[in-house]
Amino acid sequence: MHAFNYHRPSSVNDAAALAAKQAEGKLLAGGQSLVQAMKLRLASPSDLIDLGAIGDLKGIKVDGGSVSIGAMTRHAEVAGSAEVKKAIPALAYLASQIGDRQVRNMGTLGGSLANADPAADYPAAVLGLGATVVTNKRKIAADDFFKGLYETALQPGEIITQVSFPAPKRAAYVKFKNPASRFAIVGVFVADTGKGVRVAVTGAGPSVFRVADMEKALGAKFAPDAVAGIKVKADGLNTDLHASAEYRAHLVTVMAKRAVEAALK
Amino acid sequence: MSAVPDRVHMTLRVNGEDQPVSFAPYKTLLEVLREDLGLTGTKHGCELGECGACTVLVDGEPLLSCLELAVDCEGREIQTVEGLASGTELHPLQAAFADHGGSQCGYCTSGMLMTAKALLDREPAPSRERIKEAISGNLCRCTGYQQIWEAIEDAARVMREGKE
């Protein structure tokens, strides 16, 4: 890899101070996207600020009706957590479907959200559950967090510390995955929150998005056939060698139906 | 930009032994294992976290040494394919891979063995489905996987019998 300065701060404040000083620096979480990008020379930071030694960023807390997960918590921990499985089984399941075992042992919740890959799984849970992204500066509602392709509301040097997921009445995540990478070609997270239904779609567009028509239909009747006739427009959806925009639009309806079915089980 | 330090000095614990080593801080665990510790059993594959050829165990869990910085591994237990055999006696997984033709060109083999070891350490009797899921991050372009699944199942059996 190319040469860079390596920093290993032990607190969020130290990390933020370092990030503020290094305009060309990058925060390193699990490294599953950033280190790859560095090898491809898509990123060549002068400094890497490794968040791995900050204890405050790790761990899972279940408190009443919500699950708080530290930004540096690995996917494997979320997938294997008895507490998460009990409070929000759909979230533990989603984490268990990310990549492969090696990736789940390194990749982190905060890293996934900050990177905002259009095909990542976690954004679907964050938006689908109406979670709150907590940073060292503020709390950001899921609806305000994702801004576009690899783009979030995070300011330069702002660090995600944890994410708070409210436990829904019922929820499920289903994805049509790329069989090689296990990234979502289309993934749909459906949650009956008690304050309405939320439907979040990842993989299909430049960024995760909600489908208001489906939410309304499921609010009236939470059943697979309620969404069976609701199509999203292919305009603006992703086309690549794996799937066309039209096919992705079709998959949104199919995955939404399956997710509702899974939530009812 | 401040100057990048030439080298860092630390002790890495590899295959049960403390290894003092000095290396450039931007090197991956894979590079340090191969270039600075001479442990070339772990392979460079895609270098992008796709193929699993570089898989080693850190604190018992399989991870991609091509995406892990070596500086992050201080104080952690690193296991590589070189640590599998006991003296001249092969680990049951190594023996089973040889017996079943689970290794052809051999390039994926060390990563496969380490991922399989992590599985069998936790689950002594995994189903075929669990084995497939466990090694889904390790690509093999020779065997078609059949021989690898059979080898892992056979090794699991041998290991269970050895414990009885």
Interval A84-133: pLDDT, tens:
999 999 999 999 999 999 999 999 999 999 999 999 999 999 999 999 99
| CATH 3.30.43.10 location in chain A | 5-50
Q: Give contacts of A 111-130 with B, CB under 8 A.
A: none
Those residues with Cβ within 8 angstroms of residue A54's Cβ, 6 or more apart along the chain or in another chain: A9, A10, A11, A12, A15, A72
Residue (of A178, A186, A163) closest to A259 by Cα position: A186
- pTM > 0.90: yes
At a CB cut-off of 8 Å and minimum separation 6, what does A102 contact? B49, B52, B55, B62, B63, B64, B115, B137
Domains and CATH numbers, chain B: 8-83 (3.10.20.30), 92-163 (1.10.150.120)
Pick among A72, A105, A178, A181 to test the B interface (most B CBs inside 10 A) = A105
A39 to chain B: which residues are within 8 Å by CB? 47-48
CA of residue B61 relative to chain centroid, distance: 10
What CA–CA distance (Å, rounded) separates B78 from A242?
37
Q: Does A52 touch chain B if contact means CB atoms closer than 8 Å?
A: yes
pLDDT in tens, chain A (265 residues): 889 999 999 999 999 999 999 989 999 999 999 999 999 999 999 999 999 999 999 999 999 899 999 999 999 999 999 999 999 999 999 999 999 999 999 999 999 999 999 999 999 999 999 999 999 999 999 999 999 999 999 999 899 999 999 999 999 999 999 988 899 999 999 999 988 999 999 999 999 999 999 999 999 999 999 999 999 999 999 999 999 999 999 999 999 999 999 999 9
Residues of chain A with CATH 3.30.390.50: 170-265
Closest B-chain CA to A105 = B63
Between CA B100 and CA B151 the distance in angstroms is 6
B2–chain A Cβ distance below 8 A for any pair: yes
* Range B117-136 burial, b when 16+ CB lie within 10 A, else e: bbbbeeeeebeeeebeebbb
Count residue pairs from A and B with Cβ separation < 8 A. 81
Contact criterion met (CB below 8 Å) for A203 and A175: yes
* Alpha carbons B71 and B23: distance in angstroms, whole number: 9
CATH 3.30.390.50 fits A170-265, yes or no: yes
Q: What distance, in Å, lies between the first and last C-alpha atoms of chain B?
A: 60
Name the residue of chain B whose CA is nearest to A96's CA: B133
- Look up residue A129 and give its amino acid: L
CATH architecture of A5-50: 2-Layer Sandwich (3.30)
- A2 contacts in chain B (CB < 8 Å): 26
Other C-beta atoms lying within 10 Å of the C-beta of residue A12: 18
Query: What would you report as the CA-atom Rg of chain A, rounded to the nearest whole angstrom?
Result: 18
Question: A47-50 and A5-7 as β-strands: parallel, antiparallel, unpaired?
Answer: parallel
Per-residue pLDDT, B1: 44
In this predicted complex, what is the ipTM?
A: 0.92
Cβ burial A85-117 (10 Å sphere, 16+ → b, else e): bebbbbbbbbbbbbbbbbbbbbbbbbbbbbbbb
Residue B69 in contact with partner chain A when CB distance is under 8 A = yes
How is residue A165 written in tokens? 């997921």
Least CB–CB distance from B64: residue in A24, A102, A180: A102
- CA nearest to B10, candidates B69, B81, B82, B79: B69
CB atoms within 10 A of CB B88: 5
